[in-house]
Chain A
Amino acid sequence: MRSKRTLITGNEAIGEGAIKAGCFFYAGYPITPQNELTAFMAKRMAEEKRVFIQAESEISAINMVFGASASGVRAMTSSSSPGISLKQEGISYLAGCELPAVIVNVQRGGPGLGNIAPSQSDYFQATRGGGHGDYHQIVLAPGSVQECFDFMFLAFNLADKYRNPVMVLLDAFLGQMAEAIEIPNSKIQIPNYKKDWALTGAKGRAPNIIRSLFLEEGALEKHNLRLQKKYKKIKDSEQLFEIGNKSNSEIVFVAYGISYRIAKEVSLLLQGKGLKVALFRPITLWPFPYQALRDLAKDKRAVFVFELSCGQMVEDVRLALGERLPVYFYGRAGGGVFTEKELLNFVEEKLNA
């Protein structure tokens, strides 16, 4: 397939990916560091004769996405950490009503207003629910600007396939940095998802009802158990990850997003010193690829986890590995970003201890 090489930021790549993936509705609200995405969508959605709305609030934006999705179109919103907190009730409703939607979180430092620097401290919120009730959203973590573009197809397809919200989780670094990416010239085929549940007017069929309310005794438990069955299916069939230097390596680095890029550089430095490092990058943060990590780590000396947080994904790594081998964590908080040297020193210190 012929493609065009384009220098573009992560935020813009998300937007162009969404457009190419058939996103028909976008609602957003200003918040740094994702404003370029909202501005990009304002321009591009109009060019494509699709719907863009600058909502009066983050809450309104996610509920507009609810309405758009209920009408059967591909719908998305984007924000950054504090704004994503405001959207959690809406995401819970999307999950409860089984409406597909894509939510982009370009993470910044928290808690509270925090700052506008890169962070990965919304991992718990993204992977553990965030809103109320027993539900899950699928979480995709791009590791490059190319993946910001590519994963929008994946995000919308998974959302439609499972009638479930999907979060694309990146950070201020990936959102703001520019890389050269391949954008296909021709139209990318999108699978045809039948949306016979959508609100399109009850013509020649019984009325469609979108609801998450189940008051009759036992009805809500039944609904929940059905949702759990769906989540199990997602866990069984949608785990994505990347593995590097699988064989002959002594230790494993686990990281995602921008942290993975830094960890990868550190692994090259260590290789130069004669220590071979395996790399593990979860791409779906939910469902987390526990078994793949277990398999990779089974004959290794130690595992190192690097995150731009005080330690969130590391809990999933420990869930995967238990006490079988040492799991060391190094993180930076509140918008701090580790350097290669910092990580190198940490690894050498732990291995020589």
Chain B
Amino acid sequence: MPEFKKPQTLKDKPFHYCPGCGHGIVHRIIAEIVEELGIRERTVGVAPVGCAVVAYDYWDFDTTEAAHGRALAVATAIKRCRPQLTVFTYQGDGDLVSIGIAETLHSANRGENLTCIFINNACYGMTGGQMAPTTLIGQKTATTPQGRDPKRGEGYPLKVPELLANLKGVVYAERTSVDSPANIIKTRQAVKKAFLNQIEEKGFSLVEVLSQCPTIWGLSPVQAVKWVREVMTKEFPLGRVK
């Protein structure tokens, strides 16, 4: 039976994330996959602007920051210049779906051989909980105090894997969650597949991870995972889209 321990690809530093936040889980999953595939020495991570902006404080491999929304443009160039590297982006919903939607669509449409890990917590976490493109209908945020209402011109939750599935450059798009041990294992399998696709030079892969944000949602960690399971997955169904 294998011993449960911290992967070598994670630095010996406690996460700064709030109790119950999903970031630490996904950071660890990525670190585990990088270690398992033996690619630490040729992995480059691109960190977002958002709560995970300092992801490089935790991952023990080469990492760069990127301007808000531009991670996939940065990653595109790194991969094109050094194709032997395994390059991934780690982005939140504001970063990937709002300010960076052009980079998301076009890097996917070019079929860049990249791995994109997309954290969807239905809000802007770091800036205090404003509406994100993925905010649910009726969900109260700092900028939708009465709850998101399409009738007020606030739009609808934007479904990224479904949107990207129409693009020929995309080889893999799946939505997972980290609300239970079973779903964490499924997320791990999806992240692994997204990395393997790149190593096998298949093209653009995206894994959307529904991730809890208890602080902004005003819920306890236990209530937050329950909200992911019972509310969020109704709007964002889990599973492989492409």
Using a CB–CB cutoff of 8 Å, the interface residues on chain A facing chain B are: 24-25, 27, 51, 53, 55-57, 59-61, 63-68, 70-73, 75, 89-90, 93, 97, 199-204, 207-213, 215
Q: Within 8 Å CB of B222, what residues of A? A: none
State which size class the interface on B falls in. 20 to 34
**Nearest CB of chain B from residue A222's CB, rounded to whole Å:** 18
Most chain B CB within 10 A, of A57, A59, A89, A209, is at A209
- In the complex, which of the residues A24, A202, A210, A213 contacts B41, with contact meaning CB atoms closer than 8 Å? A202
Interface pick from B62-70, B137-145, B188-196 = B62-70
Task: Kindly list chain B residues whose C-beta atoms are within 8 Å of the C-beta of A65.
Answer: 77
- A25-B80, A51-B80 known; A201 and B43 CB under 8 Å? yes
Cβ-defined contact, B81 with A68, below 8 A = yes
B102 at the interface (CB under 8 A from A): yes
CA distance in complex: A27, B110 (Å): 14
Whether the pair B44, A201 counts as a contact (CB closer than 8 A) is yes
Do B65 and A97 touch across chains, with their CB atoms under 8 A apart? Answer: yes
Complex interface: chain A residues within 8 A of B59 (CB): 207
B227 at the interface (CB under 8 A from A): no
B78 partner residues in chain A, CB cutoff 8 A: 67-68, 70-71, 199
Q: Could you tell me if A199 and B77 are in contact, using CB atoms closer than 8 angstroms?
A: no
Interchain CA distance A116-B200 in the complex, whole Å: 46
**Subset of 8 A-B contacts with CB under 8 Å:** A56-B105, A63-B67, A75-B77, A89-B67, A202-B43, A207-B60, A207-B61, A209-B56
Total number of residue pairs linking A and B with CB closer than 8 Å? 128
In the bound complex, residues from chain A placing their C-beta under 8 Å from that of B54 are 213, 215
Instruction: Chain B residues near A72: list those with CB within 8 A.
Output: 81-82
B103 within 8 A of A: yes
| With A211-B64, A211-B65: A51-B41 Cβ-Cβ less than 8 Å | no
Checking A55, A67, A89, A202 against B64 with a beta-carbon cut-off of 8 angstroms, the contacting residue is: A67
* Bound: A90/B103 CA distance, A: 14
Contact across chains for B65 and A212 when beta carbons are under 8 A apart: yes
Asked if B23 is at the interface of the complex by the 8 Å CB criterion, the answer is no
Contacts A60-B70, A97-B65 given; indicate if A201 touches B80 (C-beta within 8 A): no
What string of 1s and 0s marks CB contacts (under 8 Å) between B31-42 and chain A?
Answer: 000000000111
Q: Are A203 and B42 in contact (CB under 8 A)?
A: yes
Contacts of A70 in B (CB 8 A): 64, 74, 78
CB contacts (< 8 Å) of A203 on chain B: these are 41-42
Name B75-98 residues within 8 Å CB distance of A.
75-78, 80-82, 84-85
> Across the interface, which residues of B come within 8 angstroms of A66, CB to CB?
66-67, 70, 73-74, 77
Q: How far is the CB of B226 from chain A (nearest CB, A)?
A: 33
CB pair A201–B73 under 8 Å, yes or no, is: no
For the complex, what is the distance from the CA of A166 to the CA of B166, rounded to whole Å? 40
Task: Please indicate which of the listed interface residues A66, A204, A208 has the most CB atoms of chain B within 10 Å of its own CB.
Answer: A66
Contact call B66/A63, Cβ cutoff below 8 A = yes
Q: B40 — which chain A residues lie within 8 A by C-beta?
A: 202
Interface residues of B in 198-237 (CB under 8 A from A): none
A-side contacts of B84, CB under 8 Å:
201
CB of B129 to closest CB in A, whole Å: 20
For B168, list chain A residues within 8 Å (CB). none
Q: In angstroms, how far is the closest chain B Cβ from the Cβ of A215? A: 8
B6 within 8 A of A: no
Whether A73 touches B41, Cβ cut-off 8 Å, given contacts A53-B76, A56-B102, A63-B74, is: no
Beyond A71-B78, A73-B81, is A64–B73 a contact (Cβ under 8 Å)?
yes
Q: Hey, which chain A residues are within 8 Å of B73, CB to CB?
A: 55, 59-61, 63-64, 66-67
Q: Is the pair A64, B77 in contact by a Cβ cutoff of 8 Å?
A: yes
A199–B70 touching, CB < 8 Å: no
Q: Which of B121-167 contact A (CB under 8 A)?
A: none
Closest Cβ of chain A: how far from B172's Cβ, in Å?
Answer: 22
**What distance in Å separates the Cβ of A210 from its nearest Cβ neighbour in chain B?**
4
